[in-house]
Amino acid sequence: MSLAVAATGWRLLLLLCAAGLGAVGAPQPPNILLLLMDDMGWGDLGVNGEPSRETPNLDRMAAEGMLFPNFYAASPLCSPSRAALLTGRLPIRSGFYTSNARARNAYTPQEVVGGIPDSERLLPALLKKAGYASKIVGKWYYEEFPINLKTGEANLTQLYLGEALDFIRRQRSLRRPFFLYWAVDATHAPVYASRPFLGSSQRGRYGDAVREIDDSVGRILALLRDLGLQDSTFVFFTSDNGAALISAPKQGGSNGPFLCGKETTFEGGMREPAIAWWPGHVPAGQVSRQLGSVMDLFTTSLALAGLQPPSDREIDGLNLLPVLLQGQLINRPIFYYRGNTLMAATAGQHKAHFWTWTNSWEEFQQGVDFCPGQNVSGVTTHTQEEHTALPLIFHLGRDPGERFPLSFASAEYQEALRRLGPAVQQHQATLQPGQPQLNVCNVAVMNWAPPGCEKLGKCLPPPPSAPEKCSWPH
């Protein structure tokens, strides 16, 4: 993955692009700023009902923009969800999954052999065509950074913030459009905050991390305003998957009224906080009922840049501009995959579960619980239960917590199935799964000797190659 887009040798071209656009009277396309959280839950925002109300900046962002209460990750785990954001495609299409076992969440620890295939078209590379300078700040970094596990102190969010502010200022002075992907990770266990934020929350250390991120978002938006960029910068805030309830309450967040969390395909695993902000374009104070996806950020970003999504492959992301700018609602299903398995689908207000699973009995009995305090009989199952013939269907409007399956005999069930069935069948009939990329692990591929390791005295000899099937327990 070539995400760190270097600017060298680019400046001239960008200026030419901008000049070219100017010549025909077209305005420069807007800057794009994606604020992607790590394991932050839907319920962690004050505007989504977190009782301690400690996200004044995000709440204000929502009040000045459009809130999406029905916005979804593309996977209940971080890496596939992020790969989907960057490709606009479900992991099952791009190959960012495993077939080692059914319905397993795979990701990209250092020993995995594979990732996003080179054949995929990534958002920053596509945006280059429209003259964008791109930068990722966050979840990928060069050096291990110390987090004091006892106190939770780390300065990393401040570094990420500084990088973001510097990049924005620099692009502003160069007057080039930018794509900034700000992928902070303070809300992923081990959670951390810098000293001024430690102990500042009513919610413990996790809340401290949220407060620092909230403060940082406030500073970023303030800088955009100070630089006069607020109406030429599209900002979107969301998260990669639901709160990690296995780490709650000290190191995990809140999924509000939703069922279960990260790793699961219940709403708590995949419904995300989501806010669009673009003063003067996205009307203030709006709430959209649109079913949205992180994959839409791919297509929407391209649309903002005046680009079409790649036409040689299926793209799952929608262009949300009609939603954002005209308040339209686009009819589309949401698919909930876990690895190679379509677990559930939502259309309109109804969600059908074709498979249910939390985690194995063995793990559960050892205390690994993706749904602490929650137990919906026959739904939060510890064995993989198939319901493809007669899916469990919930009405997410009346029952966002997925506690009350519709009666199979009810007219509502029959009608929901009539609407969901064809959408799912069409999806499955036309789906061409990519080659699974996350099947093989090999400690030899770990980053033993990264570039620059000599200077740091940290080069290690790689061990002999020992490829094996990765073990994906969830």
Q: Which of 52, 99, 200, 381 binds a copy of itself (CB under 8 A)?
A: 52
Nearest to 139 by CA among 240, 42, 236: 240
Give me the 381-420 binding string for a copy of itself, x by CB under 8 A, dash otherwise.
Answer: --------------xxxxxxxxxx----------------
Q: Which of 204, 218, 322, 433 binds a copy of itself (CB under 8 A)?
A: 204
For 3-12, which contacts have Cβ atoms below 8 Å and span 24 or more sequence positions?
3/86, 3/122, 3/124, 3/134, 3/136, 3/140, 3/181, 4/135, 4/136, 4/140, 5/124, 5/125, 5/128, 5/133, 5/134, 5/135, 7/133, 10/133, 11/174, 11/176
Cβ-based nearer residue to a copy of itself, 120 or 267: 267
Distance of CA 457 to the CA centre of its chain: 35
Cα–Cα dist 385/357, whole Å: 7
Cβ-based nearer residue to a copy of itself, 28 or 286: 286
Nearest 5 degrees, angle CA 179-CA 69-CA 108?
50
Secondary structure letter of residue 445 according to DSSP: G
Encoded tokens for 70? 């029905």
192 interacts with a copy of itself by CB under 8 A: no
Cβ-based nearer residue to a copy of itself, 71 or 96: 71
DSSP-assigned beta bridge partners for residue 153: 193
> Least distance from C-beta 285 to a copy of itself, angstroms?
9
> Least distance from C-beta 262 to a copy of itself, angstroms?
16
Nearest 5 degrees, angle CA 322-CA 324-CA 325?
65
How many residues belong to the site for a copy of itself (CB under 8 A)? 43
Nearest to 288 by CA among 32, 61, 62: 62
> Least distance from C-beta 289 to a copy of itself, angstroms?
7
**What are the residue ranges of helices labelled H in 52-186?**
56-64, 78-87, 91-94, 123-128, 156-174
> Least distance from C-beta 281 to a copy of itself, angstroms?
21
43 interacts with a copy of itself by CB under 8 A: yes
CB 376 within 8 A of CB 403: yes
218 interacts with a copy of itself by CB under 8 A: no
Number of residues written out for the chain: 474
53 interacts with a copy of itself by CB under 8 A: yes
Give me the 230-269 binding string for a copy of itself, x by CB under 8 A, dash otherwise.
Answer: ------------------xxx---x-xx-x----------
Q: Which of 29, 65, 69, 138 binds a copy of itself (CB under 8 A)?
A: 69
Cβ-based nearer residue to a copy of itself, 69 or 177: 69
Contact window for a copy of itself (CB under 8 A) among 149-157, 353-361, 368-376, 464-472: 368-376
CB 152 within 8 A of CB 208: yes
Residues in the site for a copy of itself, rule: CB under 8 A?
43, 46-53, 67, 69-70, 201-204, 206-207, 248-250, 254, 256-257, 259, 287, 289, 349, 372-376, 395-404
